[in-house]
Structure 1
Amino acid sequence: MTTITPFAAGSYATNRTITQLTSLKSQLNDLSGQLTSGLTAQSYGGLGTGRTTALSAQASISALTGYGAVIDTAQTRAKLGTTSLSEVVTVATDTNTTLQNGLQSTSSNMQAAKSTALNNLNAALDALNQSDGSVYLFGGTKGSVAPVVDANTILNGTTDSSGNKLDGLTTLVSDQVTADLGPAPASNGWLTQTNGTTTVSLTEGPYARRTGAAGAFGYSLSNITASNPTSLAVTSSGSPVTYTVGVNAQPNAGDTLTVTLGLPDGTSTAFTLTASAGSADPTATSSFAIGSTPAQTATNLQTTLKNALANSAGSTLTANAAARVSKDFFAASTDAGTTPRRVYTDPATGGPTYTYPTTTPATTVKQSVVWYKGESGPDTTARASQTYQVGSSATIQLGARANETPIQNVLAGLATVALGIPSGSTANASDAYQAVVNEATPLLASAKSGHSVQDITTDFSLASARMSSAATANTAQQNTLQNTVDGIEQASTEEVATRLMDLQTRLQASYQITASLSKLSLVNYIT
């Protein structure tokens, strides 16, 4: 009789036993692998239904790790930016303090203030060229090149790649002062003084600023008033305007004549001349002696007025010129295609005029250094020029530009002090120093007041704080996700060891029974 082996008596039991032993051996191998590697499976396919959750969690963990790296980079930028901007605030405050202290002893502190401002200008420019190792912080989107040229180039100029001379701020200030003072020997802001027997007249120059006018040079005549119009009669007429003061009678000691002058930037200045009973002083700038006759009094008034105008032009007008040029200079930008506005000689009139030189100027227009090479744009868009993704839906803006308005103002204030204070001692040193203080103080105040450098520093500090919060939230989320992944992918050593021992016991028992059964025969069974 033929027997079909798979269906022979006992074949099913034998096959089942082999299958069970193979399964136990496979489980033993799996548990041994888990105990060695600590992983539930060697591939995601072995995780069963948990693999989808594990893969999704791993993707989120990877993204959070990336955000962490971005935060580390951005925090470095924020800290460096805060440090640099704090330096700008410090040098502005330090310069302003030195200026105010100098008012107590002008002669001994003029050069100290000038030197301090020059050193602080260097420090501020260096701070604005700060780099985090990969990009420059204060160039906006143009972070690959230094945004600011060095102080020596800014002040003294350089030569371009074609050999053309580019004038620095020192030359621009000198040109502006010369244009504002007007022709020598008067150098009084283009005013014309005409003396009569008992009168003195002042007439505006051809470049005086009128309401709404631009491109002005020197003084405009705003008003002249007398405290005793019976003795000192003031009249005005004509265009350009002329003010005439007539000494109709002897003034009393203490009577005053106040002259108000308009400056090219639209602001004004004034000085007062006081009648005195003392002797005539040919160098007086604030008082005139009452003579023995109205004609003699008029002569003394004419001399004092001439001195006062020259003194005002050499102090107030000169400081105003330095401040105006400095502000124009730091408003220029290579990216915006602008160069500093500067003075040149008008070929048509032979007098001074303004222009913004282009890259291909007329031969009468000199070229200037452009100090800022970074990106330009409105202050309101500066932070957005560098954006960092620090979370799935969270971004931090850490952009900055060295030519933001408050930074421009601080640099202009430092330059006004450095270039506006006379290099040597002068007869009107005190007035010149006070004039520079008046012009520079509002500019330096941009470090902390109004739309200020301190505001930019605060933006960086707040961004740093938000990044710290984002990093904390990301870490907490990452830990939660990692715990989920570990729960799916990681095998419990204690559980695996227990199961492994149980399985080894069962497998050993199965082997022993199988071995015993393999030796069993009919004789042994009957016996």
Structure 2
Amino acid sequence: MTTISPFAAGSYVTNRNTSQLLTLKNQLNDLSNQLSSGKVSQTYGGLGTGRSTALAAQATLSALDGYGAGITAAQTRTDLAVTSLTQVAKLGTDARTALNNGLQSVAANTTAGRSIALANLQTALDTLNQSAAGSYLFGGRDTTTQPVLDADTILNGTTDSQGNKLAGLTSLINDRVTAELGSGGNGRLTQSSPSATSVQVTEETNAATRGKFGFTLTGTPTTTGTALSASITGTGPASLNVGLSAQPAAGDSVSFALKMPDGTSTTVTLTAASSADASSTTSFAIGASMTDTMKNLSATLTNALKGAATSTLAVNATAAVTQDFFTGSAKGGPSGTGIMPQQRIVYDTTPSKNPIGYTAAKATDTVLWYQGENSYDTATNPPQPTSALDTQSVQVSATGKVGTGARANDPTIRNVLAGLATMAFALPTASDANTSATYQTVVNKAGTLLSAADQTNPSVQDTVTQLSVASTRLSNAKTTNTATQTTVQNTLDGIEQAPTEEVVAKLLDVQNRLQASYSVTASLSKLSLVNYIS
């Protein structure tokens, strides 16, 4: 039940005075708080109509702080990635320059060249494992897994947790070169002497091997002079027949081509001379008789075949293995199960164990050097790798993103690694008749691969440029955000901050009014009818 308090005469004035005093007291408290805190109010409700603007400004500042933190972290990663890839590109360009400067002039230089190339390869692999704040830079979207295996495992293989022996790059190169050269070291060719004045070279007799490994005969041989004759007979296998009908004159020659499994060919030319070094691969001495001359020609032919095999054929095989090896990936690929190199050799079951073809590697028998993310766009035909730059991105504004991702298995990086590996394993280690040919083949093969550092389109340097542009965009976004943050902060301060001079003036005014009110109230409280009459 509601009750109504009694109304006493004069109570309205008293209540009104009390209310006014309380209002002044509250104003005094609010101004005191503003003076001590510098804020207009401790709650958004106290900001009045400015509270909506203040809330929006706080949300904007919070977002800008988040963008700023992301930009700072991304810029560190991006700048480090630029530095790392610049180093990889420099390793490639320096190696190519060294090759073009004629490293073969001294045998010791080529031996040192191998060591330097191997060290550079190891440096490049280590560089691709660069990380920032525990986040790997070259693993695409996967920033927690080391993207590249250590150099020792890549080169020498390992044994996995299940006990499987995984072949490394060194083993794969040795297997391929051995299969290409054959037991005679001459590209799986057989040399014989049907007569005292003739010599014959026959292709690999195993049909399953021939054409896939070693040399095959191609084209039509040519001769100069009238004493030498040459022809190719048969098709499976074919044979080169070289004969003498008389003593050749100095300068007479015979030339024929040897085809390699990759479809390229090399030409062997043997030239008669009054004298020739026994190790020569190009000249044979004219002997006292046709029989002696043919013996000399046959010996030079043996040198030439072995020289062509250990130079052109072996270098081509090494370059092919290194390129194939660095396509491998433990994850991703078109099928999503990784990419297995195709260069594992298949042997037949005969005692001679002839190589008869290739099969895809397995994760249980071959080192897969790249362990990072490797997604493909399967909507294209054939499927293509997704953009590496987009695998990592940072939000720089409400509507803006900047891609900062990179992968160690980018084709241009793979080519540089393959070029360094080709140098490390194929440069000649001795000064002999084959040194120049071997070196020139390395220049052609490795030099082409190393040009991916800065000369091809695209190149490693192009990736460096992309990341540098991304870094610039991050810097520009940071500058823009800082300016925006300053503007928004000024607006917020205008709403939330209490000007000290204004607060002090108001505070003194309220204090004076409150003191006057207290004095009047105190005087009135002492007033009585007796005092009034007296």
Aligned to 1:351: 354
Aligned to 1:151: 151
Kept after mapping to 2: 8 A contact 1:57/1:481: yes
Gaps of 5+ in 2: 332-337, 376-383
| Counterpart mapping for 1:196-211 below 5 A | 200-205=199-204
Kept after mapping to 2: 8 A contact 1:389/1:396: yes
Q: Structure 2 vs 1, CA of residues 104 and 163 (structure 1 numbering), >3 Å: closer, same or farther?
A: closer
Aligned to 1:174: 174
Q: How far is 1:61 from its partner?
A: 0.9
Aligned to 1:439: 445
Kept after mapping to 2: 8 A contact 1:208/1:219: no
Q: Structure 2 vs 1, CA of residues 28 and 280 (structure 1 numbering), >3 Å: closer, same or farther?
A: closer
Q: 2:387 aligns with which of 381, 402, 411?
A: 381
Kept after mapping to 1: 8 A contact 2:108/2:429: no
Q: How far is 1:188 from its partner?
A: 1.6
Q: Structure 2 vs 1, CA of residues 229 and 396 (structure 1 numbering), >3 Å: closer, same or farther?
A: farther
Please state if 1:391 is matched with 2:397: yes
Q: How far is 1:100 from its partner?
A: 3.6
The whole-number CA distance in structure 1 between the counterparts of 2:207 and 2:186 is: 12
Aligned to 1:57: 57
What is the letter of the counterpart of residue 328 of structure 1? D
Please state if 1:449 is matched with 2:455: yes
Aligned to 2:280: 284
The whole-number CA distance in structure 1 between the counterparts of 2:58 and 2:413 is: 46
Q: How far is 1:199 from its partner?
A: 5.2
CA-to-aligned-CA distance 1:463-512 (integer Å, 9 cap, x gap): 11111111111111111111121111111111111111222222223333
Q: How far is 1:268 from its partner?
A: 2.9
Q: Structure 2 vs 1, CA of residues 224 and 296 (structure 1 numbering), >3 Å: closer, same or farther?
A: farther
Q: Structure 2 vs 1, CA of residues 92 and 313 (structure 1 numbering), >3 Å: closer, same or farther?
A: same
Gaps of 5+ in 1: 361-366
SS in 1 for 2:135: coil
Q: How far is 1:253 from its partner?
A: 4.3
The whole-number CA distance in structure 1 between the counterparts of 2:462 and 2:113 is: 26
Aligned to 2:411: 405
| Counterpart mapping for 1:229-308 below 5 A | 235-240=231-236, 241-245=238-242, 253-276=250-273, 278-279=274-275, 281-289=277-285, 300-308=296-304
SS in 1 for 2:402: strand
| Counterpart mapping for 1:449-488 below 5 A | 449-450=455-456, 451-488=458-495
Kept after mapping to 1: 8 A contact 2:280/2:433: no
Q: How far is 1:78 from its partner?
A: 1.0
CA-to-aligned-CA distance 1:393-434 (integer Å, 9 cap, x gap): 121222222222122112222222222235556553343333
Q: How far is 1:54 from its partner?
A: 1.0
TM-score, normalised by the number of residues in structure 2: 0.86
Aligned to 2:71: 71
Q: How far is 1:37 from its partner?
A: 0.9
What is the letter of the counterpart of residue 507 of structure 1? L
Range 307-316 or range 264-273, more displaced: 264-273
Kept after mapping to 1: 8 A contact 2:104/2:439: no
Kept after mapping to 1: 8 A contact 2:281/2:434: no
The whole-number CA distance in structure 2 between the counterparts of 1:486 and 1:199 is: 102
Q: How far is 1:123 from its partner?
A: 1.1
Percentage of matched positions with identical amino acids? 53
Range 250-259 or range 308-317, more displaced: 250-259
Please state if 1:493 is matched with 2:500: yes
The whole-number CA distance in structure 2 between the counterparts of 1:256 and 1:383 is: 57
Range 99-108 or range 315-324, more displaced: 99-108
Range 385-394 or range 461-470, more displaced: 385-394
Aligned to 2:38: 38
Name the Cα RMSD after superposition: 3.1
Kept after mapping to 2: 8 A contact 1:225/1:258: yes
Q: How far is 1:459 from its partner?
A: 2.0
Please state if 1:219 is matched with 2:215: yes
SS in 2 for 1:123: helix
The whole-number CA distance in structure 2 between the counterparts of 1:480 and 1:179 is: 72
The whole-number CA distance in structure 1 between the counterparts of 2:208 and 2:470 is: 46
Kept after mapping to 2: 8 A contact 1:70/1:389: yes
Range 470-479 or range 191-200, more displaced: 191-200
Kept after mapping to 2: 8 A contact 1:106/1:430: no
Kept after mapping to 2: 8 A contact 1:209/1:217: no
The whole-number CA distance in structure 1 between the counterparts of 2:135 and 2:296 is: 66
Kept after mapping to 2: 8 A contact 1:330/1:340: no
CA-to-aligned-CA distance 1:135-154 (integer Å, 9 cap, x gap): 22222223222222222222
The whole-number CA distance in structure 2 between the counterparts of 1:209 and 1:72 is: 60
Equivalenced residues, count: 511
Range 138-147 or range 425-434, more displaced: 425-434
SS in 2 for 1:486: helix
Q: Structure 2 vs 1, CA of residues 500 and 44 (structure 1 numbering), >3 Å: closer, same or farther?
A: same
Kept after mapping to 2: 8 A contact 1:148/1:372: yes
